[in-house]
Amino acid sequence: MSAPAIRHAATWWLWMATQLLVLALFTAQIQFSSRFPPPIEDSAAAAVLAVQVTLVILLNTALLPDYRAAVAAGAGGVVVLLTAELLAGQRAGEAFWPLLLLFAWLLALVKRISPKIQALLAVLTLAGPALLWAAAEAGTSGRSFALWAFSPPVGAITTSLHFPSHLTAFALPLTLILGKFLQNQGLRISLRHRPAAG
């Protein structure tokens, strides 16, 4: 087995093990603080999806080098997320939006993205949960539009918990997908109009 294949396999196992650990913690009903997360039996799906989105962003190049890898990551992620949604007692219709958000992020980040975008997403990803936790500890709802729209993990949580504006969580991944599409179209046009050598 080649070094890239070993690296991808190790990353995939890390991806799965982290999700399963989070699911196990929530199944065991471990409360992380007096107010966070509320209530614990309804938060498993939100936590799993938030962790999935976080891992997709932070492990981007190792986890999603190509579309086959994205399918493998998605297959494992769907099983864990559906299990979490079952534990939370969510209906089939409620399970649709979290699954769609997971696949939106997988599609947005498959193959390499710009290092600057990667760094920005990492900052937004790591800062969001800290702000949400601070809002929960302060006794506020934390339903800030900025958190919904620009923090991928918080957007994942709001999508799972069905806050009224959860669709804003799709803004970032859809923007990245559109940017990739336009970039590919521009590349195809430039190659088509490149003068032949000689």
pTM of the model: 0.81
90 inside domain = yes
Can you tell me the mean pLDDT for 135-145? 61
151 inside domain = yes
pLDDT of residue 26: 78
Q: Is 142 exposed, middle or buried (0-12, 13-18, 19+ CB in 10 A)?
A: buried
Say how many domains are in the chain: 1
Q: Is the pLDDT of residue 179 over 80?
A: yes
Q: What DSSP string describes the chain?
A: --HHHHHHHHHHHHHHHHHHHHHHHHHTT--SSSSSSSSGGG-HHHHHHHHHHHHHHHTHHHH-SSHHHHHHHHHHHHHHHHHHHHHTT--HHHHHHHHHHHHHHHHHHSS---HHHHHHHHHHHHHHHHHHHHHHHTT-----HHHHHH-HHHHHHHHHHT-TTGGGGGHHHHHHHHHHHHHHHHHHHHHHTSPPP-
197 inside domain = no
Q: How confident is the model at residue 153 (pLDDT cuts 50, 70, 90)?
A: confident
- Domain of residue 165 covers 3-192
Can you tell me the mean pLDDT for 115-135? 81
pLDDT of residue 10: 92
pLDDT of residue 44: 82
CA–CA separation, 86 vs 97, rounded Å? 14
Mean pLDDT of the chain: 80
Length of the chain: 198
pLDDT of residue 32: 62
pLDDT of residue 141: 54
pLDDT of residue 172: 87
pLDDT per residue as tens digits for the range 95-120: 788 899 999 999 999 887 788 888 88
198 inside domain = no
Share of the chain above pLDDT 90, in %: 24
pLDDT per residue as tens digits for the range 7-39: 889 999 999 999 999 888 877 776 666 655 555
Q: What DSSP string describes 63-114?
A: H-SSHHHHHHHHHHHHHHHHHHHHHTT--HHHHHHHHHHHHHHHHHHSS---
pLDDT of residue 51: 92
pLDDT of residue 198: 47
Q: Which residues contact 185 (CB under 8 A, 6 or more apart)?
A: none
Share of the chain above pLDDT 70, in %: 74
Can you tell me the mean pLDDT for 45-69? 90
